[in-house]
Structure 1
């Protein structure tokens, strides 16, 4: 009996460690790129903008935080928000703001009049778009964990939140290191660093915008746009590493400059101030190196250690199929569990979709076995909840089949004579998602 108790304790501890590492890795991947970009941009704003302009930028940044919290609440508690469309507007606003900001800061902006304020308005909008895209998922992590745990008084919830907090702390320290290094570079070099980081952000957001335009059929299918979108989507970590590489180069340059460059001084007090400034710069450079190492460690070794292979349930056979529709009888899916079906196209591509009966209801949640964010990695059932196979986010079963939230991609269907009828044409629209 004692051995059984010890084994149970060991299982709880192991599960708690997995939860902590999972949310540490999720948070790191979600906001570290944004932390680096905003850190560099903040350093540039502090060196190049006037006092009034800086105050305006900080107010807009605060508005971005409020905006991100509102998105998180609405996205996870209602079906009011179409995530893809909202993200599309965020991407578009961010790209336009970047271009305008870039053009009007080629030369150092004036501190006076509208001309001096105009570029910093768009800098503030950049804060709103970057925070508005990066933070909502992080704010929603406690809600997602509670979907599985039902109470905050649990080891799993506590360890998951510790992982999230550690990820946020890593992001904040990285942000501060980037900001301090940019301040020490001066307005000219800080501007170059900030614009390079913003360019990386623009490359990623352009891919996101293309994805929305193609998915919503706002533009015609385009091979170049699709290839570009898939490349960026499959190499998100690469862009984070590029952003970190810029920071490392800046930190290394400042470190070496502190060794080589001998700044003249007129008295011992001035000499001490110079030495203190150099030591401070080296500390922040070392902090940047350590943060970069921690991020890389998180997304490589720790992710490998934490990896748990989840085998998706097998594809079930539908009740019937003709040239126009796939048919699923209620009797196949009325047990309240997740069921996975597929339609195979002429190209041999399996377009998977899921069906689950909603709790305490006669309605069904129906959607693709894929989402806008994680692609076609699929969903699995765990403890009565539907969970994303890639990011471990728990779906709200009651909102599956509705637009908005972190839900499976919506597909058309009809209910008739005890059957779910899914048009094949509606599935073929998403063939590329599963290629």
Structure 2
């Protein structure tokens, strides 16, 4: 849910701010009628729909279309930024009709870019994983409605707060929002031109775009921060009832006006704070990749087996374990009860799959989810081979205990790349080594053996049976 509110706030908050502030600034500090704002917003949305349709119809040209949209919008945004000081001075600036036309174009362009970017960010996220109406679809649609409603409210409230903050503060806020949008537009335009070879790739250009890319994600917060600052300026300029006003009617009128202004300021602050909170939650928490639970390190017993009591893992939760193989590979595996405690059936699997590798799995309710591809598996299917299911691990059940042979875990080492440093012994000379620093190694009998020099390595390869004791001996 937070994702859709976030992308709407990231892409369209600046459109709400420009639509609210430009008419007031261009009117010379007088409260504008704002009759042309809705047509400008509609025109921008229509242009974005045409661009999105063209990009969807020709996927190979999608990057070129996005680059064209961003480059064209950047030109208009820079023009609007340069004209903002003149638009704020009606006496010395251009005629009123010209200012209204410029405002219409600027609002439409900013809206078009915002709607197009929102479409691009959401195109790879489906509203629902199924074709039927379900909770996920309802929640995501509600998020879109809430996001649009919050942005509409923000724009309407800002239009009321701008006269309270004053023409100068509003003009500065508008210029700051356009400047942040221009910086983001430069990064998107240059990156797109490099991708479609409209500009030759050089180290300087790539470095410049890379530095901008570190800044631009945070610029999405700028319009909401500016809205909060503008509400703060309006609070500093709040109406104060003069002490010499003694008439009851006049004082009540002034108090009602002061209360109304406070409500407008509070509305802007509350709406902007809500959108900022959702964005921060999405960026700092919800969008973080899932993390594996801590794996319990296990070592084989005297019989070279791992033994885990069923009573400790039959609660229906995913229990993750780890085993360090003879060559130092950390082999993860997990156990989960496929049913309930009254009908125990333990799935014993490696924490990896043949398709996605060693990314691992997490549990959410009755679903086991592959981190690498987000495929969801119903818990009763764990332990069955095929698809993105975790790799089954050979085991036995003895008197309520899951028994896993170390040899089977050694075979699973090839699915994992993490290597930990362990002490090993040269089987010929008995010298103590570190697995990561041994100059020679050799696989035999399902294990990896390490050697301190070429001589012991060659002797072992010639007659390994003379140096290797059977498992469990």
After TM superposition, the score normalised by the length of structure 1 is 0.57
Q: Please say which of residues 204-213 and 266-275 is displaced more in the overlay.
A: 266-275
**Larger relative CO (CA 8 A, sep 6+): 1 or 2?**
1
Hey, what's the Cα distance between the residues in 2 that align with 1:43 and 1:123? 10
Deviates more, 1:257-266 or 1:99-108: 257-266
**Is the CA contact (8 Å cut-off) linking 1:97 and 1:122 kept in structure 2?**
no
Q: Which runs of 5+ in 2 are unaligned?
A: 292-354, 357-370, 377-473
More helix by share: 1
> What's the C-alpha RMSD, in Å, of the aligned pairs?
3.8
**What secondary structure, in the 3-state scheme, does the structure 1 residue paired with 2:237 have?**
helix
Q: 2:10 aligns to what?
A: 29
Residues 310/249 of structure 1: CA separation in 2 closer, same or farther (3 Å cut): closer
Q: Which structure has the greater CA radius of gyration?
A: 2
Rounded to whole Å, the distance in 2 between the matches of 1:58 and 1:162 is 23
CA contact (8 A) 2:17 2:174 kept: no
1:141 & 1:231 partners in 2: Cα distance? 22
Question: Which residue does 1:300 correspond to in 2?
Answer: 280
Alpha-carbon separation, structure 2, partners of 1:147 and 1:233: 28
Which whole-Å CA distance do the structure 2 matches of 1:233 and 1:24 have between them? Answer: 22
- Alpha-carbon displacement from aligned partner over 1:238-296 (angstroms, at most 9, x marks no partner): 32333333322221222233265749758544433322222122112222222332233
Counterpart for residue 126 of structure 1 = 106
Confirm or deny: 8 A CA contact 1:101 1:119 kept in the other structure: no
Listed as ranges, the matches of 1:248-397 within 5 Å are 248-258=228-238, 262=242, 267-307=247-287, 309=289, 381=373
Secondary structure of the 2:172 match is: helix
Correspondence for 2:176: 196
- 1:247 corresponds to which residue? 227
Q: Is the 8 A contact 1:64 1:127 kept in 2?
A: yes
Q: Residue 51 of structure 2 is aligned with which of 71, 76, 93?
A: 71
Q: Is the 8 A contact 1:37 1:243 kept in 2?
A: no
Q: Post-superposition shift, 1:78?
A: 4.6
CA 1:246–1:273 in 2, change beyond 3 Å: closer, same or farther? Answer: same
> Relative to 1, partners in 2 of residues 1:291 and 1:118: Cα closer, same or farther, differing over 3 Å?
same
- Quote the offset at 1:302 in angstroms: 4.8
Match among 171, 180, 184 for residue 160 of structure 2? 180
Q: Aligned residue pairs: how many?
A: 297
CA distance in 2, matches of 1:243, 1:146: 27
**Are the structure 2 counterparts of residues 264 and 97 from structure 1 closer, same or farther at C-alpha, using a change threshold of 3 Å?**
farther
Equivalent-residue separation in structure 1 for 2:267 and 2:375 (angstroms) = 41
Instruction: Give the whole-Å Cα distance in 1 for the aligned partners of 2:31 and 2:230.
Output: 24
1:372-426 Cα deviation digits (max 9, x unpaired): xxxxxxx975569xxxxxxxxxxxxxxxxxxxxxxxxxxxxxxxxxxxxxxxxxx
> How far apart are 1:66 and its partner, in Å?
1.8
The 2-side partners of 1:212 and 1:278 are apart by 50
Cα distance change, pair 306–48 in 1 and its aligned pair in 2 (3 A): same
Unaligned runs of 5+ in 1: 1-19, 312-338, 341-378, 385-435
Partner residue in 1 for 2:73: 91
Tell me: CA distance 1:282–1:226, structure 2 relative to 1, closer, same or farther (3 Å). Answer: farther
| Gap change, CA 1:146 and 1:302, over 3 Å in 2 | closer
1:110–1:116 CA contact under 8 A, matched in 2: no
| Equivalent residue number for residue 207 of structure 1 | 187
User: Aligned with 2:220: secondary structure?
Assistant: helix
Q: Secondary structure of the equivalent of 1:283?
A: helix
Which residue matches 1:161? Answer: 141
On the 8 A contact 1:210/1:226 being kept in 2, the answer is: no
CA distance, structure 1, for counterparts of residue 264 and residue 32 of structure 2: 25
Structure 1 distance, partners of 2:98, 2:213, is 33
Q: Is the 8 A contact 1:100 1:119 kept in 2?
A: no
TM-superposed CA distance for 1:130, in Å, is 0.9
Distance 1:242 1:24, change over 3 A: closer
1:107 matches 2:85: no
Is the counterpart of residue 229 in structure 1 residue 209 in structure 2? yes
CA deviation after TM superposition for structure 1 residue 128, in Å: 1.7
> 2: distance between equivalents of 1:298 and 1:286?
18
Whole-Å separation in 1 of the counterparts to 2:283 and 2:89:
43
Q: CA 1:102 to 1:238, structure 2 compared with 1: closer, same or farther past 3 Å?
A: same
Superposition deviation, residue 298 in structure 1: 1.6
Q: Give the CA deviation at 1:132.
A: 0.7
Say yes or no: does 1:219 pair with 2:199. Answer: yes
How many Å separate the matches in 1 of 2:170 and 2:4?
Answer: 32
What is the alpha-carbon distance in structure 2 between the residues aligned to residue 138 and residue 84 of structure 1? 12
Q: Which range is displaced more, 271-280 or 232-241? A: 232-241
